[in-house]
Structure 1
């Protein structure tokens, strides 16, 4: 296994890493002594904590959509409606898809960058509040889906732009810690949402969620800020030539294919658990277990990606995920083995997004003028495409499942097509490993 050598980051703004024609740029800050330290210090850690908290609120809540999907499918006025799964995948997909646009906006209008996360939190919470007035799935798609996704994107995306300013050598681990935030909140949100739904119903649950997310986010917004204060537009950072480079294309292809199936378990596990006889708590515990172990998976993958070639890390995640999906979920006919799957899936598949920092470094090696903070959100776009596709695809697969009643285990339960889709897309997510073996990248 190779040790990962990191190229200099253009986003550090250190003149030793900037091309000579840019060294006179007034954006470059020469006196590093006047700035907070990189890779440590109180302000860097406060930024990381704030980023983790916003990540937790946005994605922890979004990843708990399986609880809402289960409720909407069994309660009026949404019972029997189509496209319910698309609400959750729409929210997550849009939050991923719009990331490049948010980054470009902050680069082109640097004075706005400091306030983007605040604007995002307001939109996100307002959209949740509006969703409490929904009377059909279309209303939910617009509010809990699109509105939440737009707000969530603006709330967390500044982390990507600012992270390279606060962390350099520990960037992979730092991103792993941030991604782990959604796992930590994902332990609490499913259980809390399930309890609120049972006690107060959907309208009150959405309104309480809106207020709670806002109250929890506000104290951390002050620390979610850049290390470098800039006022001029950094046009040189908007270099998009890497988009048609084979290195980026191959990594992006695997990233997108993996995302198509990645979210299916957390959306359908509560419903599947209920089909096995689980009560409300036991059903919501499936999502909690996935999110819990995602914490460890994200941090571990971030740690490994700082030390080994990123294809080695992706290979470990791919092999483990494929075996877990096909042989544990595929033959889970009772709650205990299903819980084992939840633990293993969160640990092995949950850290896949922590490979993006390493992928960005590989793309930068092939494209030295590419900016890591521009590469990174395009990886999120790939995940967003897979996410949006997975909603309608999963509903179509459930309707035409050819294995229902004809195969063993979960394969014959009516969810067999979802198991196959999740495992197959996880396998295709490792395409970069094959590409590197044949020296395509």
Structure 2
């Protein structure tokens, strides 16, 4: 039996058991129940006593695709707009809009918008529980719109901290928390593909608004550029918020802002460490490429193009990451693509001194740099389960506040200390490699969990024995059957291949 069993509470198409012993049709729960009835006596079900809500099977499509399109559009008009901050940064520095403001202060504004989006997540989760997903999204739309309007009247640097940093971050956070769990609720087999498509919206938005913001600033001026972006975000995100439908009632989502019991699970701590290191690398990469281009002798226009190409890479890379995650394994894909980004940084970016080579790195690095955002929902569901997903993600967002706030300032301080970007590039590359190594450990744990569950189900007689192993040997005791499929050693699980 090579099918993966990610938990009795999560039965999807690639995790069904007992279908070989039954008619082969219907959902996985029916297959197990029929298999348990063999011999005339029903066997005790492993989930006996658990709430019925834990066996909900998502439709894996249908209106879910409308929701995916809406989430992708919201991502484009939140995270994508945030990616265009590099254009505003270049304008601030070159035109001395805010006297006495330093580059480090501007760097903190970019990081602050991301960290505030994450730090507001418990409030957004509580709002979702009390008032629903749609209300949470609309609150975020109002905050985001207000941030652009307020920024258009900014005359001091602290005005930008409040508007483009904190207020925009809160708006982005409410919309992110309200929308990030939607795709996993609607999909099973194609969950990672759906999440990848949704995440690609941020790359497309970053590409579009990196170019559009520069054009608007040049043609209508900075204040009206802000106001125009605010109006666009309000109209588009409001429409998407009204179209999105969640499945919280069907799956029985806990919607707890904090479930401290999750900290007792080592695999969850591994996911947190994976996200922490990934963000230390990602934020430096996201905001540094245009400035790096200018440091090596390119023009501001070339720098903005490189930033736009990087966002294009994110848009192109995230759907394939999601697609192959469903076929090759979500943890396999996430860890390998994260490691690949680190390799690109250390082998291409560090030697990129010409426009052509930097464009190559931007497109290649962009395809894998945002792997975390493409997989965070599916791999958290894989490891923690759909019922505790909202609580797990709320804790995750808070843990990511520190790296997202200080990553870019750390990168700029390394540049200031060494006089070149070499140290910052090494820092970025090794953060990605470290994140990949930690997730590989989580993968090894997951394989062990699957092996244990397969052994338990075989002991209960709920799955057929493997051909050539149990069949033809004769009747076996429960202990013998369990021993045949015992858990491998951790070292073996580190090097073995399995779709997980």
Shorter-chain TM-score: what band?
A: 0.7 to 0.9
Q: Which residue of 2 aligns with 1:7?
A: 7
| Residues 149 and 227, structure 2, Cα contact 8 Å, conserved in 1 | yes
Q: Which residue of 1 aligns with 2:59?
A: 38
Q: Secondary structure at the match of 2:220?
A: helix
Q: Which residue of 2 aligns with 1:263?
A: 283
Separation in 1 of the partners of 2:167 and 2:272? Answer: 26
Q: Secondary structure at the match of 1:39?
A: coil
| Residues 300 and 351, structure 1, Cα contact 8 Å, conserved in 2 | no
What count of residue pairs does the alignment treat as equivalent?
413
Q: Which residue of 2 aligns with 1:219?
A: 239
1:303 aligns with 2:320: no
Structure 2: runs of 5+ lacking an equivalent:
13-26, 30-45, 445-489, 495-500
* Equivalence map 1:263-412=2 (5 Å): 263-364=283-384, 371-401=388-418, 404=419
How much has 1:325 moved relative to structure 2?
0.8
Separation in 2 of the partners of 1:235 and 1:271? Answer: 41
Separation in 2 of the partners of 1:209 and 1:323? Answer: 36
How much has 1:302 moved relative to structure 2?
1.4
How much has 1:251 moved relative to structure 2?
2.2
| Residues 103 and 157, structure 1, Cα contact 8 Å, conserved in 2 | yes
Q: Which residue of 1 aligns with 2:435?
A: 429
| Residues 184 and 377, structure 2, Cα contact 8 Å, conserved in 1 | no
| Residues 96 and 153, structure 1, Cα contact 8 Å, conserved in 2 | yes
How much has 1:152 moved relative to structure 2?
0.8
| Residues 321 and 426, structure 1, Cα contact 8 Å, conserved in 2 | yes
Higher deviation after alignment, 158-167 or 113-122: 158-167
Higher deviation after alignment, 415-424 or 159-168: 159-168
Higher deviation after alignment, 315-324 or 189-198: 315-324
Structure 1: runs of 5+ lacking an equivalent:
405-413
| Residues 132 and 207, structure 1, Cα contact 8 Å, conserved in 2 | yes
Q: Which residue of 1 aligns with 2:449?
A: none
Q: Which residue of 2 aligns with 1:409?
A: none
Separation in 2 of the partners of 1:116 and 1:164? Answer: 18
Q: Secondary structure at the match of 1:253?
A: helix
Q: Which residue of 2 aligns with 1:148?
A: 168
| Residues 118 and 400, structure 2, Cα contact 8 Å, conserved in 1 | yes
1:134 aligns with 2:151: no
How much has 1:362 moved relative to structure 2?
4.3
Q: Secondary structure at the match of 2:77?
A: helix
CA offset digits 1:277-299 (Å, max 9, x no partner): 43443221111111111122211
| Residues 186 and 291, structure 1, Cα contact 8 Å, conserved in 2 | yes
Q: Taking structure 1 as reference, are residues 387 and 11 closer, same or farther at Cα in structure 2, changes over 3 Å only? A: farther
CA offset digits 1:221-280 (Å, max 9, x no partner): 2112224668x9957896441223211112211220121121212212112223344344
Q: Taking structure 1 as reference, are residues 284 and 381 closer, same or farther at Cα in structure 2, changes over 3 Å only? A: same
Separation in 2 of the partners of 1:9 and 1:148? Answer: 37
Q: Taking structure 1 as reference, are residues 10 and 4 closer, same or farther at Cα in structure 2, changes over 3 Å only? A: closer
Bigger RCO (CA 8 Å, 6+ sep): 1
Q: Which residue of 2 aligns with 1:95?
A: 117
Q: Secondary structure at the match of 2:98?
A: coil
Q: Taking structure 1 as reference, are residues 20 and 345 closer, same or farther at Cα in structure 2, changes over 3 Å only? A: same
Residue 20 (structure 1) aligned to one of 27, 46, 49: 49
How much has 1:112 moved relative to structure 2?
3.6
CA offset digits 1:42-63 (Å, max 9, x no partner): x222111111111111010111
CA offset digits 1:12-57 (Å, max 9, x no partner): 9x9x79863534xxxx69999xxxx72222x222111111111111
1:170 aligns with 2:184: no
In terms of Rg, which structure is larger? 2
TM-score of the aligned structures, taking structure 2 as reference length:
0.74
Q: Secondary structure at the match of 1:263?
A: helix
How much has 1:383 moved relative to structure 2?
3.5
Separation in 2 of the partners of 1:236 and 1:272? Answer: 42
| Residues 110 and 165, structure 2, Cα contact 8 Å, conserved in 1 | yes
CA offset digits 1:98-118 (Å, max 9, x no partner): 3344224322x1x34331101
How much has 1:347 moved relative to structure 2?
1.1
| Residues 299 and 351, structure 1, Cα contact 8 Å, conserved in 2 | no
Q: Secondary structure at the match of 2:229?
A: helix
Q: Secondary structure at the match of 1:115?
A: helix
Q: Which residue of 2 aligns with 1:408?
A: none
How much has 1:197 moved relative to structure 2?
2.0
Separation in 1 of the partners of 2:191 and 2:228? Answer: 35
Q: Secondary structure at the match of 2:243?
A: coil
CA offset digits 1:193-243 (Å, max 9, x no partner): 11122233322221111112112223222112224668x995789644122
